[in-house]
Amino acid sequence: MSKIVVDHVSLQFRVWHDGASSTKEYFANLFRRIKTKQYTDFLALKDISLTVKDGERVGIIGHNGAGKSTLLRTISRIYEPSAGTIQVNGRVAPLLEIGAGFHPEFTGRENIYFNGAILGYSRKQLKEIEEEVIAFAELEEFIDTPVKYYSTGMYMRLAFSLATTVHPDILILDELFVGGDAAFVRRGKERMNKMIDRSSVMVLVSHDQSLLRSLCDRFIWLDHGKLIADGDASVLDAYGAT
């Protein structure tokens, strides 16, 4: 059974304040740090606790800087929490940045194997799904072109197609459909619903409330790193009224 448990998690960043207007000033300020505190500690997540169970479709909402993407990166083990613990049961496919995990010099086909290996799949497994990935991404004509020449939409289609074809237990998405055309967004939503029907977990960050309503059945509202509300569509309604 796939599951995510976030238990009293806080995450603190150190923000440096150099105030340098030139390269010379920047390096001078580096040495002055020894004598003068030129940073502040910023608490990006503040005592967050939540559990996401098998089959749930969760939308993370909040204004810019609320901690949404930071929470996803912490769940994905990109960031280690400063306090608290995170338990994740199941194979995770985090799609947090367009093309993250892709090598720009590799072709689309080569990146299917490169990124798929990062996600933990064998070459045999990837060979079995290669043509399905290419077809869903609609990249037959460009699949043997280095991805550094891909548009944002092409990157997004290939990344999404790979992550959803390998059927991860937990899919974590951060504004993934940004840059996608209407037809691909529609097909992507259909595929997402099929994945959830197979009892996978999805956690999605998006500013698109219509997309959130169509894909999610639970909403977590963050503001300045704090959990404000957690519940059904009424949470999205309350957020939309702010």
* Sequence ranges of the domains in the chain: 3-240
Of 73, 161, 174, nearest to 115 by C-alpha is 161
Average pLDDT for 125-138: 95
Task: Check if the beta carbon of residue 54 is closer than 8 Å to that of residue 215.
Answer: no
Looking at the chain, the whole-number percentage of residues with pLDDT higher than 90 is 52
Give tens-digit pLDDT for 19-76.
555 556 656 666 665 555 577 888 999 999 999 999 999 999 999 999 999 999 999 8
Question: Band of the pLDDT at 204, cuts 50, 70, 90?
Answer: very high
**Is the separation of the CB atoms in 49 and 6 below 8 Å?**
yes
We find that the CATH architecture of domain 3-240 is 3-Layer(aba) Sandwich (3.40)
Joined together, the tokens standing for residue 114 give 């490169």
Helix (H, G, I), strand (E, B) or coil at 116: helix
State the Cα–Cα distance between residues 81 and 204, nearest whole angstrom. Answer: 20
130 phi and psi, to 5 degrees?
-55, -50
Compute CA distances 131 → 30, 92, 143, 205, whole Å: 52, 22, 10, 29
- Note the pLDDT of residue 22: 56
CA 68 to CA 58: how far, in whole Å?
Answer: 12
Q: What is the DSSP letter of 113?
A: H
Q: Which residue has the tokens 């500013």?
A: 207
Answer whether residue 237 shows pLDDT above 70.
Answer: yes
Alpha helices in the chain (DSSP H): 23-32, 68-75, 108-118, 123-137, 152-165, 182-197, 209-215, 233-240
Which carries the bigger pLDDT value, residue 52 or residue 18? 52
pLDDT: is 194 or 228 the higher one?
228
Instruction: Please name the residue that has the structure tokens 């985090």.
Output: 94
What are 103-127's pLDDT values in tens digits?
999 999 999 999 888 777 899 999 9
Q: Which residue has better confidence, 29 or 193?
A: 193
pLDDT at 166: 78
45, 60, 62, 49: which is closest to 239 by C-alpha? Answer: 62
Comparison of pLDDT for 31 and 13, the residue scoring more: 13
What's CA 115's distance to the chain center, in Å?
15
Tell me the pLDDT of the chain averaged across its residues.
Answer: 87
User: What CA–CA distance (Å, rounded) separates 41 from 202?
Assistant: 31
DSSP 63-88: STTSSHHHHHHHHTTSS--SEEEEEE
Spatial separation of the C-alpha atoms in residues 225 and 222, rounded to whole Å: 6
| CA atoms of 210 and 92, how far apart (whole Å) | 25
pLDDT band at 178 (very low <50, low <70, confident <90, very high): low
pLDDT value at position 35? Answer: 54
